[in-house]
Amino acid sequence: MYSNYQNFLQKEIADIKEAGLYKNERIIVSPQGAEIKVNTGQTVLNFCANNYLGLANNPELIKAAKEALDTHGYGMASVRFICGTGDLHKQLEAKIAEFFGTEDTILYAACFDANGGVFEPLLNEQDAIISDALNHASIIDGVRLCKAQRFRYANADMNDLEEQLKAAQKYRFRLVVTDGVFSMDGNVAPLPQIVELANKYDAMVMVDESHSAGVVGRTGRGVTEQYNLRGKVEILTGTFGKAFGGAIGGFTTGKKEIIEMLRQRSRPYLFSNSIPPLVAAAGLKMVEMMSTTTTLQDKLHHNTEYFMEKMKKVGFDIKPTQSAICAVMLYDAKVSQDFAARLQEEGIYVTGFYYPVVPKGQARIRVQLSAAHEIEHLDKAVAAFTKVGKELGVLK
Ligand SMILES: *Cc1c(COP(=O)(O)O)cnc(C)c1O
């Protein structure tokens, strides 16, 4: 029975390899951090994790998680509404709402689930969703699962957003949805203009803060902090898998009736397990840390500026960033792959991106800065970039 399908898959996989799009996984044998050990025995500097605040191996978070293992056990073995709600889950939901200045929060196993389960229960075919063209895959999938009419606007293009809002006027309710930070360029969504247009055309706004929470805004409270719009957006989603500790888990936070309805009808919430208590406990510690000091944000912002400045000075073409994502533009797909491979030999872990992940002729290396990086790490990375840049003749 399987052999025809096996042949089919083998051919598809060969095609993926042929096109140079096959994803090989690199195996890390140490905790996630600035310096990681890989299974070849090499120790490398990591510049491609979402570990923006360096919390993935933070001693205080580890301690909180260990304590929760003793007090609350390992797993919940239930969805929230049957018997999967613990005191730590409720505390974390309240703390996340406090952190973002929202009314209530609902936890999910991942932000992929938060986005997958947010549209379908709230909107139907009488309504319209207006989505940025570069929104995350989980938003695209969530929109697909919903019966609402779909409108798309070019990335951060406010003229196009206005056109789409006009076209959507005949529907009952409208929701504009955007990533807070777009992961390929590191640009922040123009939220003041989005909110203004939403007010003008009677729409609600949703922001996915996955790459911006912990990173953007003076105290890391994301795009709504950056633009002084705390509490002015109906729905925020986010992850505990990036700056917020890097383990697992996601959330939707916002207006209380919206969260209440999601608890009743959101399918990834109703039909999937609760996050483990130890993750909730570490999440609580994370919010506490972020509410008492901005040391990590300050260090991250400083590291980002430092790295960008040095890279520009040696002649790299760097996209302006408003986040901890730094796109080193190489334009040519093959150069981006050769560059990343050479950097790995030099002990620097980064990823080269090219079409179809970014537009044709826009190949690049994406560098992600972290508060875990020390200046010596940044200097080493710049030196390696410079060496390889000279070899490949890409410096200006
Ligand atoms: C990473 C990411 C997600 C998915 O988060 P997980 O918690 O890992 O599922 C969703 N949206 C955006 C914008 C992201 O960058």
Query: Which tens digits make up the pLDDT trace of 302-361?
Result: 999 999 999 999 999 999 999 999 999 999 999 999 999 999 999 999 999 999 889 999
User: What's the confidence (pLDDT) of residue 24?
Assistant: 87
Domain, as residue range, for 255? 59-292
383 and 250, same structural domain?
A: no
Ligand 1 center to residue 249 CA distance, Å? 10
Pocket of ligand 1 contains residue 179 by CB under 6 Å:
yes
319 and 242, same structural domain?
A: no
pLDDT above 90 (res 32): yes
Mutate which of 32, 52, 107, 111 for ligand 1 pocket (most atoms within 8 A of beta carbon): 111
Mean pLDDT of the chain, nearest integer: 97
281 and 343, same structural domain?
A: no
Boundary (domain end) residue, out of 241, 266, 292? 292
Pocket of ligand 1 contains residue 212 by CB under 6 Å:
no
Active site residues: 183, 211, 242
CA dihedral 374, 376, 382, 384 (to 10 degrees): -120
Mutate which of 140, 187, 239, 275 for ligand 1 pocket (most atoms within 8 A of beta carbon): 239
Boundary (domain end) residue, out of 261, 292, 323? 292
User: What's the confidence (pLDDT) of residue 23?
Assistant: 87
The Cα 166–Cα 155 span in angstroms is 18
The Cα 371–Cα 174 span in angstroms is 38
Note if the pTM is more than 0.95. Answer: yes
User: What's the confidence (pLDDT) of residue 22?
Assistant: 87
Ligand 1 center to residue 102 CA distance, Å? 20
Strands lying side by side in the sheet with 250-254: 104-108, 250-254, 235-239, 204-208, 174-179, 128-132, 149-153
Closest by CA position to 34, among listed 376, 338, 285: 376
324 and 288, same structural domain?
A: no
Rounded mean pLDDT of 273-299? 97
pLDDT above 90 (res 20): no
Q: How far is CA 152 from CA 143, 195, 362, in A?
A: 11, 17, 22
Pocket of ligand 1 contains residue 110 by CB under 6 Å:
yes
Give alpha helix (H) positions in 207-294. 223-226, 256-265, 267-270, 277-292
Ligand 1 center to residue 77 CA distance, Å? 24
Boundary (domain end) residue, out of 272, 292, 312? 292
